[in-house]
Amino acid sequence: MGATARNIVCAHCQAVNRVPGDRDPKQGKCGRCGKPLFEGHPFATGGAAFDKQIDRSDVPVVVDFWADWCGPCKMMAPAYEQVALELEPNFRFLKVDTEAEQALAARYNIRSIPTLMVFRHGAVLAQRAGALDRNSLRAWLTQIPVG
């Protein structure tokens, strides 16, 4: 018997795609828009698209709450990109610009940036404020219980 199918939300069109457990999600394409389900980099999101990603995806969703004027955010960005490349499809990586998405920042009580949050089925699994280097970020994510 094969592994359980997983719901993956397309980062482009927000369609929910059911990916059979015996298929490599990295090879999957969206049934609606045809774009790859995983591209090895974080996606900018906000509003209803953010809610759908964190609520409907069976894959844990890592969110970087950041701002363009934030020096530590800019310093961490390459590490976040690299870890996304390494850990997808086990995680989905998103970025939320707190200046453009002030309501989201308020909803999650973001007081300092960068703040990283990990969600699964709408619930917060982990949260951490402050910039991390690649190794620290990877180590933090891989110790989070996502089952």
In whole angstroms, what is the distance from residue 101 CA to residue 87 CA? 26
Is residue 33 among the annotated active site residues?
Answer: no
Segments in the chain forming alpha helices (H): 47-56, 71-87, 102-107, 134-142
Q: Residue 70 corresponds to which tokens in the numbers above?
A: 């934030």
Per the residue annotation, which of 10, 30, 33, 70 is the catalytic one?
70
Per-residue b or e along 13-32, where b marks 16 or more CB atoms closer than 10 Å to that residue's CB: ebbbbebeeeeebeebebee
Per the residue annotation, which of 13, 30, 33, 73 is the catalytic one?
73
Is residue 30 among the annotated active site residues?
Answer: no
In whole angstroms, what is the distance from residue 69 CA to residue 36 CA? 31
* DSSP code at position 26: G
| DSSP per residue, 75-98 | HHHHHHHHHHHHHTTTSEEEEEET
Q: Residue 112 corresponds to which tokens in the numbers above?
A: 């300092």
| Active site (catalytic) residues | 70, 73
